[in-house]
Amino acid sequence: QKNKVKEKLKKGELTVGVITSLYSSALIEMLGYAGYDFIVIDDEHGAYSWSEIEELIRTSLLVDLVPIVRTNYDQSSIQKALDRGAFGIQVPMVNTKQDAEIVVERAKYPPKGKRGTAFSMRAGGYGYKSGKEFMDIADENTFISVQIETPEGVENFEEIINVPGIDMVFIGPTDLSVNMGYKNGSNNPEVQKTISELYKKSKKAGMPVGTIASSKGSIKEQINNGASFVSVVLTTVIKNALDEVNQEHLL
Ligand code: 3PY
């Protein structure tokens, strides 16, 4: 199965998905049937077991939804996500060029990287795939996205996005605003200005940008800003629906 998110982003096309920390195969099926491109299974903040993540990945592939795991930065987290068969990783708190290089190293097989080799797990077809073929396809197919969400990451942005193997940069407005000293302040003008600079630099470098849509109207806003990978937070959708109902009643 091809990684359609990676392919669409390469062509400059828009991709839309949902980020969740819920454990629900039904939710994955709904998103697939609705026509979303991807699911980000959030293991940075979620409370999943690895078997649960594997189940969600398996379901995603049945409904043509690209399964991406938001891992943690450590080697084990990246390895386990890819070995379960995730088509991509989204790695938080990447602050330096070296951080980005290490992420790529952890996600790619030798000689490109240092990903540990095993064929007995789900990604390797439990040993039923040819090892060489599997590794070549995995390296080609794996989508690597790094999150910029600290002033240090902003400072090193250009170096980070130029690291070979990085497919997308993800701007995390919530963490970034908090790390810039504004709790709950992603609408703060200084934060907005910083983010818009990052968009400009990404455009110049031809690097696709991903971000989150977590408030009313923000899906459109992020697309207008130049994001081509929009992760919708389900509470936004739920709240929007209720807002619509409330507006109707007020009329
Ligand atoms: C942020 O906004 O900080 C994120 O990490 C989005 O998921």
Q: How far apart are CA 210 and CA 33, in angstroms?
A: 23
pLDDT band for position 251 (50/70/90)?
low
Q: What is the mean pLDDT of residues 168-176?
A: 96
* Residue 30 pLDDT greater than 70, yes or no: yes
pLDDT-above-70 percentage for the chain: 99
The Cα-based distances of 191 to 19, 154, 160, 175, 205 in angstroms read: 22, 11, 19, 11, 21
Q: What is the ipTM of this complex?
A: 0.95
* Residue 220 pLDDT greater than 80, yes or no: yes
Q: Choose among 175, 186, 11, 194: nearest CA to 91.
A: 175
Please give the CATH superfamily to which domain 4-250 belongs. Phosphoenolpyruvate-binding domains (3.20.20.60)
Q: What confidence score (pLDDT) does residue 101 get? A: 98
Write the pLDDT tens digit of every residue in 195-211. 999 999 999 999 999 99
Q: How far apart are CA 60 and CA 3, in angstroms?
A: 12
Query: What is the whole-number distance in angstroms between the Cα of residue 129 and the centre of ligand 1?
Result: 36
Position with higher pLDDT, 236 vs 39: 39
Q: What confidence score (pLDDT) does residue 44 get? A: 96
Q: How far apart are CA 65 and CA 57, in angstroms?
A: 9
pLDDT-above-90 percentage for the chain: 80
Q: How far apart are CA 182 and CA 52, in angstroms?
A: 35
Write the pLDDT tens digit of every residue in 77-103. 999 999 999 999 999 999 999 999 999
Query: What is the whole-number distance in angstroms between the Cα of residue 26 and the centre of ligand 1?
Result: 25
| Confidence (pTM) | 0.95
The tokens for 19 are 């980020």
Q: How far apart are CA 148 and CA 223, in angstroms?
A: 18
Domain boundaries of the chain, sorted by first residue: 4-250
Q: How far apart are CA 53 and CA 41, in angstroms?
A: 7
Q: What confidence score (pLDDT) does residue 1 get? A: 79
- Residue owning the nearest CA to atom 6 of ligand 1: 172
Q: How far apart are CA 171 and CA 162, in angstroms?
A: 16
Strand partners, 148: 171
Query: What is the whole-number distance in angstroms between the Cα of residue 165 and the centre of ligand 1?
Result: 22
Q: Is the separation of the CB atoms in 57 and 38 below 8 Å?
A: no
* Residue 149 pLDDT greater than 90, yes or no: yes
Please state, rounded to an integer, the average pLDDT across all residues of the chain. Answer: 94
Instruction: Work out which ligand 1 atom sits closest to the CA atom of 42.
Output: 7
Pocket lining: 221 vs ligand 1, CB cutoff 6 Å = no
Pocket lining: 212 vs ligand 1, CB cutoff 6 Å = yes
pLDDT band for position 128 (50/70/90)?
confident
